[in-house]
């Protein structure tokens, strides 16, 4: 049987074009060599696509050569036989001079890639602080890995002290001098803790920018608190008696009824002392979390700072104040409903009321705020809502309660990761005793119950 001759393109370019157009695809690629240019072949694919290739030998080292196939273009896209032969001949001349079209194509592709990366890097380097902050806010708002408040606190701080001044600046142009400019404004007002917060949160923003490759490095990573507001002082203000100070709680209990506070706010202070909880946990508490019969209040995981739920025992002291509060807000969802009753009071609402009553006669008086500017001033100086939590903890300590039980009562995570992973019980009986002892001590310091007097008062300020 005679061997089938391999197809060859005719010498006439026009005839070759006609022949190529008449070719029919088969199940495999067909290769038709050119009769004019050595190494030039046409490939017809099963999909009826026609491509030009140039086969050639390329040197590797001094003696070794390797056969290669370079794709020149597509017949279907306008590369006729005449154009293909002209290009193939030009390439053959250059190949004899040491040129390798495949390597050249690779080199050009790499150059294009590098140029694209350079352009992209340049574009990313022009991204502004505002644009980076928008992406950073999305990270903070992540329900799994973000902040509990969705990043609202951090973004408010950055908006007020950084982005308002430098938000339109390309992040690559931000320097340490700009950081100091933002920090110095807070320092000039005596707000050292705010200055530290500005620095730490801006550093976090820039570390995010480095990870996302908006910038190669952070110019402010070398800064620390000593370059801003200095190390944060450890606040140790307590209102109870210790080995080195006199008790102020009894005086506070005497001042509260005449301080111009709403009944709700006064009860909140007593509950904070009686439970040692955080103000946010108390403000977000719902009545269905309180069980008067079992004498407990469940702080839900979503309301606690560390995400751990806590069962709080209601001592006689705490229970009596909760019962008084129930008469006022038991018909609503929250223990401390907002003015509209649609939500709860904001934690900073109580804090503002307390602070406003310690400004003194010489302090700055704000419009539409309380005239009782000195009603809650105590001998030991200015005190805050969180100091009540510290006071309750210290009272427990002075009553002989062991530190780890106090930590449990305050929902502090103690021990290492291994302990938290394998030990899921509680010291509730010991914690009940601790809360009972705390409540008894508070009741003793308070003296006769002022409950009847409280309930007869007229609210002088609306609940907000």
Nearest to 269 by CA among 296, 249, 285: 249
Q: Which CATH number fits domain 14-99: 3.40.50.2000, 3.40.50.720, 3.30.160.390, 1.10.3210.10?
A: 3.30.160.390
User: In this model, does residue 415 exceed pLDDT 80?
Assistant: no
What average pLDDT score do residues 66-74 get?
92
pLDDT tops 90 at residue 327? yes
β-bridge pairing 64-74 and 290-291: unpaired
pLDDT in the model for residue 458:
36
Bigger pLDDT: 452 or 333? Answer: 333
d(CA 207, CA 225): 17
At 290-326, the pLDDT tens digits run 999 999 999 998 888 888 899 999 999 999 999 999 9
Nearest to 175 by CA among 215, 124, 148: 215
| The pLDDT of residue 348 | 87
Where along the chain do its domains lie? Answer: 14-99, 129-227, 249-455
Pairwise CA distance, residues 193 & 229, whole Å: 6
Confidence bin at 421 (pLDDT 50/70/90): confident
Question: Could you tell me the pLDDT band of residue 427, with boundaries at 50, 70 and 90?
Answer: confident
Locus of tokens 């969705």: 150
Q: What is the pLDDT of residue 452?
A: 43
The string of pLDDT tens digits covering residues 19-59 is 999 999 999 999 999 999 999 999 999 999 999 999 999 87
Checking if the pLDDT of 255 tops 70, the result is yes
Fold of 249-455: hpI Integrase; Chain A (1.10.443)
192-246: pLDDT as tens digits: 999 999 999 999 999 999 999 888 899 999 999 999 988 888 888 999 999 889 9
Round to whole Å and give the CA distance between 248 and 235. 17
Task: Return the higher-pLDDT residue of 3 and 284.
Answer: 284
* Three-class SS state of 59: strand
pLDDT at 370: 73
Quote the pLDDT of residue 459: 40
Q: Strand 30-34 relative to strand 290-291: parallel, antiparallel, unpaired?
A: unpaired
Which pLDDT score, from 0 to 100, does residue 450 have?
47
Q: With bands split at pLDDT 50, 70 and 90, how would you rate the model's confidence at 368?
A: low
d(CA 463, CA 6) in angstroms, rounded, equals 96
Asked if 178 and 166 count as a contact pair (C-beta separation under 8 A), the reply is yes
pLDDT at position 275 is: 96
Residue 121, judged by CB atoms within 10 A of its CB (0-12, 13-18, 19+), counts as: middle
Per-residue pLDDT band at 462 (split at 50, 70, 90): very low
Report residue 361 as tokens: 């006669």
Global pTM?
0.65
Return the pLDDT at 287.
95
pLDDT at 369 over 80: no
DSSP string, 154-194: HHHHHIIIIIHHHTTSBGGG--HHHHHHHHHHHHHTT-HHH
Q: Read off the DSSP letter of residue 408.
A: H
pLDDT score, position 430: 93
Beta bridge partners of 70: 54
Quick one: tokens of 243? 């080995």
Task: Determine the CATH number of domain 129-227.
Answer: 1.10.150
Do the beta carbons of residue 419 and residue 404 sit within 8 Å?
A: no
Find, among 304, 302, 282, the residue nearest to 349 by Cα: 282
Does the pLDDT value for residue 101 go beyond 60? Answer: yes
With a cut of 60, say whether residue 167 has pLDDT above it: yes
Look-up of token digits 């008086």: 365
Looking at residue 231, what is its pLDDT?
87
CA distance 164 to 129: 10
């Amino acid at each position: 049987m005679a061997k089938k001759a391999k197809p060859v393109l005719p010498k006439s370019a026009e005839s070759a074009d006609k022949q190529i157009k008449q070719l029919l695809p088969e199940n495999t690629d067909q290769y038709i060599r050119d009769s004019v240019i050595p190494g030039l072949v046409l490939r017809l694919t099963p999909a009826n696509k026609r491509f030009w290739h140039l086969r050639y030998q390329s040197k590797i080292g001094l003696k070794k050569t390797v056969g290669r196939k370079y794709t020149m273009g597509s017949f279907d896209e306008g590369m006729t036989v005449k154009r293909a032969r002209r290009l193939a001949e030009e390439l053959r001349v250059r190949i004899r001079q040491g040129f390798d079209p495949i390597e050249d194509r690779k080199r050009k592709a790499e150059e294009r890639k590098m140029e694209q990366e350079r352009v992209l890097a340049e574009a990313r380097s022009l991204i502004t602080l505002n644009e980076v902050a928008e992406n950073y806010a999305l990270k903070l708002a992540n329900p799994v890995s973000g902040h509990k408040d969705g990043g609202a606190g951090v973004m408010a701080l950055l908006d007020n002290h950084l982005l308002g001044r430098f938000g339109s600046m390309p992040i690559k142009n931000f320097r340490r001098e700009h950081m100091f400019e933002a920090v110095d404004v807070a320092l000039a007002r005596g707000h050292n803790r705010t200055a530290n917060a500005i620095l730490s949160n801006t550093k976090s923003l820039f570390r995010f920018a480095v990870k996302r490759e908006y910038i190669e490095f952070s110019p402010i990573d070398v800064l620390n608190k000593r370059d801003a507001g200095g190390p944060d002082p450890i606040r140790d203000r307590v209102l109870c008696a210790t080995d080195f100070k006199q008790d102020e709680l009894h005086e506070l209990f005497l001042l509260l009824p005449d301080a111009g506070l709403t009944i709700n706010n006064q009860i909140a202070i007593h509950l904070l002392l009686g439970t040692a909880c955080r103000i946010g946990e108390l403000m977000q508490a719902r009545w269905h979390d309180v069980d008067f019969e079992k004498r407990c209040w469940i702080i839900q995981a979503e309301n606690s700072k560390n995400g751990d739920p806590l069962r709080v025992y209601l001592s006689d002291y705490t229970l009596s104040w909760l019962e008084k509060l129930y008469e006022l807000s038991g018909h609503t969802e929250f223990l401390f409903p907002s003015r509209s009753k649609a939500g709860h009071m904001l934690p900073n609402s109580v804090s503002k009321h307390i602070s406003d009553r310690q400004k003194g006669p010489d302090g700055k008086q704000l419009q539409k705020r309380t005239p009782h500017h000195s009603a809650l001033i105590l001998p030991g100086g200015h005190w805050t809502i969180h100091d009540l939590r510290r006071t309750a903890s210290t009272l427990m300590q002075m009553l002989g309660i062991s530190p780890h039980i106090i930590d449990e009562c305050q929902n502090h995570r103690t021990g290492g990761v291994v302990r938290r992973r394998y030990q899921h019980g509680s010291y509730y009986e010991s914690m009940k005793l601790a809360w009972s002892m705390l409540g008894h001590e508070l009741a003793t310091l308070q003296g006769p119950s002022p409950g009847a007097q409280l309930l007869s008062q007229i609210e002088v300020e609306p609940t907000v």
